[in-house]
Amino acid sequence: MKPREKRDPLPLEDAKSRLRRILETAAQLIHEHGYEKASMQQIAEACQLTKAGLYYYIRSKEHLLADIMNYGMDVFEEQVLSKVLPIVDPVERLEAAMERNVRLVTEGRNRAITVILHEHDTLTGQARAQINARKKRYVRFLESSFTEAMRDGRIRPGDPKVAAFAFLGMVNWIYKWYRPDGQLSADRIAREMRQLFFGGLRVRPASNREAAERSST
């Protein structure tokens, strides 16, 4: 792809997929160097555009960051939230959310997710408020699922807000330590975390019976 200067209109799908590629490339650079250090010049070059060409797609560096985060939230909502919202059982819903969220963070192909997690305090003004509202939607989804599961006696009682943030911390912190070439696979991490978090949290009348049977023999 050559530097693109002319303003001839692209078909809508081409324009969309080009913008997506720009956001993914920029996210990779911001992930590597941090938002402050990654320059628009550098990002333009990595996208094989001139700086003017980049500004054809993006209004400013702060808009770029907001676009990356909104794109990351789109991916997150498509791959995690929308898939688990229809699950009726609150514990199954939460377990599926954990599994899918772990996969999204470990996959790492999409650095927009890492940028959302790391640059949580970089945006200002309206763009910040808008991204925070999208993040809050997830926190509230977790909180209300925990509340529902506790109310139904499906998990041990506790503070649903702390449970929601504990869930998020466990899962989101992965971007800080996970190495795709390390010994732990994404599958393994997803399974272990689910078991660790929910294994003892679930209230299982069945296992009380089992315990009773074991101790009476």
Contacts 24+ apart (CB under 8 A), 133-137: 134/70, 134/73, 134/77, 135/73, 137/81
The interface mask with its own copies, positions 153-172, x = CB under 8 A, is ---x-xx-xxx-xx-xxxxx
Residue 120 in the binding site for its own copies (CB under 8 A): yes
Query: Is residue 131 within 8 Å of residue 66, measured between CB atoms?
Result: yes
* Rounded Cα distance, 111 and 67, in Å: 13
Q: Of the listed pieces 17-25, 39-47, 85-93, 118-126, which binds its own copies according to CB under 8 A?
A: 118-126
Residue 202 dihedral angles phi and psi, to the nearest 5°: -60, 140
Residue 36 in the binding site for its own copies (CB under 8 A): yes
Q: Of the listed pieces 11-19, 55-63, 66-74, 183-191, which binds its own copies according to CB under 8 A?
A: 183-191
Residue 192 in the binding site for its own copies (CB under 8 A): yes
| CB of 49 or CB of 65, closer to its own copies | 65
Binding site for its own copies (CB under 8 A): 34-37, 120-122, 156, 158-159, 161-163, 165-166, 168-174, 176-177, 184, 188-189, 192-193, 195-197, 199-202, 208-209, 211-212, 214-216
